[in-house]
């Protein structure tokens, strides 16, 4: 399977995120350098399910921002907001999960630094733009559960 041109993939990526935000199933944020305003990446929560209080986290950074802790800080910030109680302006989510290609150890470090524990390997779950399948690591972050 041939990959779609990069401009088509970018258009589809943006369209799907805008639809998710509008429908209330996703929240995406850009990550900017506070001094220059330069784009460093994005972070978001999608597939938001108010019941059973779950969502799927995602992030990416431009090459120049990698290795500086940008992704981990952004993911931690958005995850804390998503797991904050609704009455405090959060989404009230209990479980946030994320996955990344097994061949991406930097993403594994970002997940773990942001409180996402490694849960296992999902076989053939990642489809790259070239149509090739890869195994993925599954991570999850669980909010403090209220006392019963």
* pTM listed for this prediction: 0.83
Show the tokens assigned to 74.
């952004």
In the structure, what pLDDT confidence band is assigned to residue 11 with cuts at 50, 70 and 90? confident
pLDDT tens readout for residues 72-122: 999 999 999 999 999 999 999 999 999 999 999 999 999 999 999 999 999
pLDDT tens readout for residues 106-115: 999 999 999 9
C-beta pairs of 121-129 under 8 Å, 24+ apart in sequence? 125/99, 126/99, 126/100, 126/101, 128/101, 129/3, 129/4, 129/9
Q: Which domains does the chain have, with CATH numbers?
A: 6-142 (3.40.630.30)
In the structure, what pLDDT confidence band is assigned to residue 31 with cuts at 50, 70 and 90? very high
Q: What is the mean pLDDT of the chain?
A: 88
């Amino acid at each position: 399977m041939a990959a779609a041109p990069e401009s088509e993939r970018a258009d589809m990526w943006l369209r799907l995120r805008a639809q998710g935000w509008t429908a209330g199933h996703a929240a995406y944020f850009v990550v900017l350098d506070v001094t220059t305003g330069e784009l460093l990446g994005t972070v978001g929560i999608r597939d938001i399910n108010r019941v059973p209080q779950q969502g799927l986290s995602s992030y990416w950074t431009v090459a120049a921002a990698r290795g500086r802790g940008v992704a981990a800080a952004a993911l931690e910030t958005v995850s804390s907001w998503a797991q904050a109680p609704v009455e405090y302006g959060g989404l009230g989510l209990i479980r946030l999960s994320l996955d990344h290609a097994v061949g991406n150890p930097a993403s594994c470090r970002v997940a773990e630094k942001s409180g996402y524990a490694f849960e296992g390997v999902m076989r053939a779950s990642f489809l790259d733009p070239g149509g090739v399948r890869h195994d993925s690591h599954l991570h999850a972050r669980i909010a403090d559960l209220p006392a019963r």
